């Protein structure tokens, strides 16, 4: 079988780490056909659009997409985040972020974050002669249901034993209240998986103090974004965190880190998150054997040396060479 893979390197270090992930994929005895397209701030400067129609069309046609990182400048009117735009246009309602330590064995948790609603719904306005800014938080029952059902299905499929629903229903009684209530209702249909809940502020503290306590964490868009970034600090930083954006028809895999313009071009970016995003893509495609092979190779490579952000002295390419040599 030939897998059609769309490659969107993006901006900054995305253009450095995504090619390394592609190098790893090319070493596997699988048939890939790679299609390259542009998206991001560099693309915007050339074409006046950050997400060209032809790029969106290509993503829809491919079996999966490997996405790098893009710059989202806050001061350009009508400029929209490419990944947020892709999530909405393709209805990629799940953001899956595993946080796994390759040196501290007990940290192995997964964030399952709603990906299309909440505070990132994009509905904002000014009132009172621009002295008041309002952002609307949109939470729907259908959005809660499909996200939490996915979380329980993921837990069952991957032999996970517990799901923690994270919310702020004591204050945000309607929106978070709906998320909490939906989680409690769905949990009753899955007696074999333990269920608990936690307020988001308590969760932020508990993640630092006792990360081993958690297994699968299901939460809303904004909370999931912040908490998963916080958790990354426990396992080496954002350079170690891959992710998947999953919908019913499409899936996009990306490192959680940004475009990091401060280190772009220096050849020191950590390619682990991009390589592990490719590993997640293989799992999605059903190539579990090769996904496990890459995971083991990354683990063993990190035992010997690493990139600068993890205290090592290897370049981006040198670390990837080490991973490939261990496959």
* Element spanning 282, H or E: helix 272-284
* Largest separation between any pair of C-alpha atoms in the chain: 62
- Give residues with Cβ within 8 angstroms of 192, minimum separation 6: 156
CB 90 within 8 A of CB 60: yes
The H or E element that residue 251 is part of is strand 251-255
The answer to whether the Cα torsion of 169, 173, 175, 177 is positive or negative is positive
Whole-number Å distance between alpha carbons of 149 and 180:
13
- One of 63, 215, 229, 321 is an active-site residue; which one? 229
Which residue among the candidates 168, 290, 295, 309 is catalytic per the annotation?
168
Residue closest to 195 by CA, chosen among 217, 223, 219: 217
State how far Cα 213 lies from the chain centre: 22
Within a 10 A sphere around the Cβ of 122, how many other Cβ atoms?
14
Is the CB of residue 268 less than 8 Å from the CB of residue 313?
Answer: no
Phi and psi at residue 164, to the nearest 5°: -110, 120
229 carries an active-site annotation: yes
Which of 102, 120, 154, 290 is flagged as catalytic? 120
DSSP string, 154-169: HHHHTT--EEEEEE-T
Query: Which of helix, strand or coil describes residue 119?
Result: helix
Write the DSSP symbol of residue 307: B
Q: Which of 91, 196, 201, 292 is catalytic?
A: 201
201 counts as catalytic: yes
Distance of alpha carbon 122 from alpha carbon 78, whole angstroms:
11
Examine the residue annotation and report whether 168 is marked as an active-site residue of this protein: yes
Is 162 marked active-site?
no
Is residue 91 annotated as part of the catalytic site, yes or no? no
Helices (H) and strands (E) in the chain, counts: 11, 12
Catalytic residue positions, numbered:
120, 168, 201, 225, 229
């Amino acid at each position: 079988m030939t897998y059609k893979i769309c490659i969107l390197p993006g901006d900054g270090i995305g253009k450095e780490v995504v090619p390394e992930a592609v190098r790893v994929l090319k070493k596997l005895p699988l048939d890939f056909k790679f299609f390259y397209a542009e998206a991001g701030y560099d693309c915007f400067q050339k074409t006046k659009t950050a997400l060209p129609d032809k790029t969106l069309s290509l993503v829809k046609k491919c079996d999966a997409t490997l996405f790098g990182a893009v710059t989202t400048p806050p001061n350009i009117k009508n400029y929209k985040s490419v990944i947020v735009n892709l999530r909405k246009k393709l209805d990629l309602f799940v953001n899956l972020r595993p946080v796994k330590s390759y040196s501290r064995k007990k940290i192995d948790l997964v964030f399952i974050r709603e990906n299309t609603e909440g505070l990132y719904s994009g509905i904002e306005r000014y009132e009172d002669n621009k002295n008041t800014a309002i952002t609307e938080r949109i939470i729907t029952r259908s959005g809660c249901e499909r996200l939490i059902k996915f979380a329980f299905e993921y837990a069952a499929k991957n032999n996970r034993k517990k799901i923690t629903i994270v919310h702020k229903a004591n204050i945000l009684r309607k929106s978070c209240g709906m998320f909490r209530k939906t989680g409690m209702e769905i949990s009753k249909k899955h007696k074999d998986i333990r269920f608990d809940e936690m307020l988001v502020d308590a969760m932020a503290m508990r993640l630092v103090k006792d990360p081993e306590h958690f297994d699968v964490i299901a939460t809303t868009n904004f909370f999931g974004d912040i908490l998963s970034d916080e958790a990354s600090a426990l396992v080496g930083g954002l350079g170690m965190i891959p992710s998947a954006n999953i919908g019913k028809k499409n899936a996009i895999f990306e490192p959680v880190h940004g475009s990091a313009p401060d280190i772009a071009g220096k050849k020191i970016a950590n390619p682990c998150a991009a390589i592990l995003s490719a590993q997640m893509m293989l799992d999605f495609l059903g190539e579990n054997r090769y996904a496990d092979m890459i995971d083991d190779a990354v683990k063993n490579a990190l035992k010997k040396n690493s990139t600068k952000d993890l205290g090592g002295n290897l370049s981006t390419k040198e670390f990837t060479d080490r991973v490939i040599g261990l496959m």
